[in-house]
Amino acid sequence: MKRVIVALLVLATACSAPAGEPAKTALRIGYQLIPNGDLIVKDQKWLEQALPDTEITWSKFDSGGDVNTAMIAGAIDIGLAGSSPVTRGLSAPLDIPYRVPWIFDVIGDNEALVAKKEITSVAGLAGKTIATPFASTAHYSLLAVLEEAGVTDAKVIDLQPPDIQAAWVRGDIDAAYVWTPVLAELEKDGAVLATSRELAGKGKLTADLAVVRDEFADKHPEILQEWLKQQDRAVKLTRTDAAAAAAAIGRQLNLDPAEAGRQLGQLVLLDAAEQRSPEYLGTADAPGKLAENLRSAAEFLVGQKQLDAVPDLTVFQKGLLPNALP
């Protein structure tokens, strides 16, 4: 948390203009190392080209919980957070003034529960130590998997992905629920016990979502629309030129294109037209089922004592911003 606070102080002052120069509009983006279209947009500098009069900064975060912290501090304008931290953000007591204008990806095999090879089932995790970033989609999925298997005595600890990898190497943990690229490292000498794709098939869908500060969306709709346009462009690139998309993601993750392409293929990416469907964001007049999914996540989190109360469905419907889609 200390690292996050220091980073927020830097972000808060990063966009100051030199004396005598007109200040550019600032767009402060919080991104994560997840192999989706956001990394393509960053790698190709499409936003910088499309918005030359905007001061754009990209700041890396390790989890959606940290993105929520940055949003509360007013340190970023747009960020990536999983559906679980967004559920928390839209609920009391956080009540973060942000909305969801875009779905980066529906989480599939890129987020999973991996254990040491001698552990062959979820039931085998009884009494073991499992790491996951708290308040993340991985945390939500882990709790669901353990509940389904009837495991009540596992020790679940809060670690960010880089720390999970280090703890795994040291032998401090027996298992972890985490996402790529750390997941890929753990898979090299571990065994996958459950994936988020499997959970989605059981009705517990998780996704990586964009969140935009209400104030920024209301004040700079043209910048938000351009940001969305470039995100849609990135998704379409993954379909028309998969090699170029994989190369861009590989550069951002320091992976060879083949591995980057493999990780990209583990996600479900949706273009703007697909996101307008009733299954996802819907429309301003008819909010999509994503709102229901977020409310279901809230119900689960209340049952796990991660939230105090389940908000009304309208809270999550108002938390969607489909009308800005290109």
The pLDDT mean for the chain works out to 93
Distance of CA 61 to the CA centre of its chain: 10
pLDDT for the residue numbered 2 = 43
Each residue of 157-202: pLDDT tens digit? 999 999 999 999 999 999 999 999 999 999 999 999 999 999 988 8
Q: Would you state the pLDDT for residue 98?
A: 99
Q: What is the pLDDT of residue 135?
A: 80
Q: Which CATH superfamily is domain 111-201 in?
A: Periplasmic binding protein-like II (3.40.190.10)
Residue 86 pLDDT exceeds 90:
yes
Mean pLDDT of 67-80: 98
**Nearest of 209, 215, 131, 195 to residue 165 by alpha carbon:** 131
Of the pLDDT bands very low, low, confident and very high (cuts 50, 70, 90), residue 136 is confident
136 or 237: whose pLDDT is higher? 237
Strand 155-158: give its sheet, edge to edge. Answer: 155-158, 129-132, 175-179, 111-116, 190-195
Supply the pLDDT for residue 260: 97
What whole-number percentage of the chain has pLDDT above 70?
A: 93
154 pLDDT higher than 50: yes
Query: Is the pLDDT assigned to residue 73 strictly greater than 80?
Result: yes
Q: What angle do CA 119, 120, 121 make, to 5 degrees?
A: 105
Given this model, what pLDDT does residue 200 score? Answer: 86
pLDDT (tens digit, 9 = 90+) per residue, 283-296? 999 999 999 999 99
Greater pLDDT, 86 or 202: 86
Ordered by start, the domain boundaries in the chain are 2-107+206-324, 111-201
Per-residue pLDDT tens over the stretch 1-27: 445 544 554 455 444 445 556 678 999
Tokens of 197: 């794709």
Residue 179 structure tokens: 């996402």
Q: Do domains 2-107+206-324 and 111-201 have the same CATH topology?
A: yes
SS (HEC) of the chain: CHHHHHHHHHHHHCCCCCCCCCCCEEEEEEECCCCCHHHHHHHHCHHHHHCCCEEEEEEECCCHHHHHHHHHHCCCCEEEEEHHHHHHHHCCCCCCCEEEEEEEEECCCCEEEEEECCCCCHHHHCCCEEEECCCCHHHHHHHHHHHHHCCCCCEEEECCHHHHHHHHHHCCCCEEEEECCHHHHHHCCEEEEEEHHHHHHCCCCCEEEEEEEHHHHHHCHHHHHHHHHHHHHHHHHHHHCHHHHHHHHHHHHCCCHHHHHHHHCCCECCCHHHHCCCCCCECCCCECCHHHHHHHHHHHHHHCCCCCCCCCHHHHHHCECHHHCC
Record: fold of 2-107+206-324 = D-Maltodextrin-Binding Protein; domain 2 (3.40.190)
Instruction: Provide the pLDDT for residue 232.
Output: 99
pLDDT for residue 213 is more than 90: yes
